[in-house]
Amino acid sequence: MSVGINSRNIDDMHPTVARGCREWINRMAQNGFTSVGISATYRDNTHQDWLYAQGRTIRPPDSIVTNARGGQSIHNYRLGFDFYRNIPGQAYNDSTPAERRFWDEGGRIWMAMGGEWGGSWKGLVDRPHCEFTGGLTLQDLQAGHRMADNFRMPWEILKEEKEVRFRTIKDIPDWARPDIQRLIDVKILSGTGFDEKTGERVLDISEDMMRTLILTRKMILAGDRL
């Protein structure tokens, strides 16, 4: 029986890594991998020490599962997670090209998002392991340094750079302008201020947000008619 905390809850991770994990799950599904499980989102030092004892003081030497004691694993700092195939009896299968593709694609996707994958390590390879530390080393973490809650992974920064935004009402496409203007008229949408030169209301609204506002308005109007 294990001791200490070994969470599978994504929300137990640092907010930055939790957002990344959820995006990673979405990208895995888009690539055909819908049966994905997440584990080790947070381990306390007690559980880490228990894992370290496996194959040393608890089981035979061939059962060693980690070289990290409490405080020596990224999992202890909520900056990593493990993934597995969420199919009974096949969780860690890795013997055929099709099975190995699960791990290779999972690692490729995470690294493309800016994270680090244990399967790419040259020393102790850990194919189920993903982490993101924002540049902090284990020594930094042990010294008490922490990544800010609003720190963004590279995939988030890239998404923002690619996001279509509209500055004023005249920039909004014809299909959306009447609805957005109505939201302004009834003071639901106020924008971020006014342009000093033109006096125009500055909306700085993304296309995703615009679509969400319009859909919400239409749903409310439809409900009023019922």
Q: Encode pLDDT of 120-165 as tens digits.
A: 999 889 999 999 999 999 999 999 999 999 999 999 988 877 777 8
List 36's β-bridge partners, or say none.
Answer: 85
Whether residues 188 and 110 share a domain: the answer is no
CB-based contacts of 205: which residues, under 8 Å, 6+ apart? 165, 166, 172, 180, 189, 191, 213
Above pLDDT 70, what percent of the chain?
Answer: 96
Among the candidates 114, 142, 158, a domain finishes at: 158
Residue type at 199? G
DSSP secondary structure letter of residue 129: E
**Does residue 204 belong to any structural domain of this protein?**
yes
Statement to judge: residues 172 and 153 lie in one domain: no
Domain count, the chain: 2
Is residue 118 within 8 Å of residue 128, measured between CB atoms?
A: yes
Whether the CB-CB separation of 48 and 75 falls below 8 Å is answered with yes
| 63, 141: one domain | yes
Last residue of a domain, one of 158, 193, 216: 158
At 52-106, the pLDDT tens digits run 999 898 877 667 888 899 999 999 999 999 999 999 999 999 999 989 999 999 9
Tell me the one-letter amino acid at 108. Answer: R
Q: Are residues 117 and 142 in the same domain?
A: yes
Instruction: Note whether 145 and 182 are same-domain residues.
Output: no
153 and 186 assigned to the same domain: no
Mean pLDDT of 17-36: 96
- 184/150 same-domain check: no
Residue 1, domain member (yes or no) = no
Dihedral sign computed on CA atoms, order 124, 130, 133, 134: positive
59 and 169 in a single domain? The answer is no
Parent domain of 23? 6-158
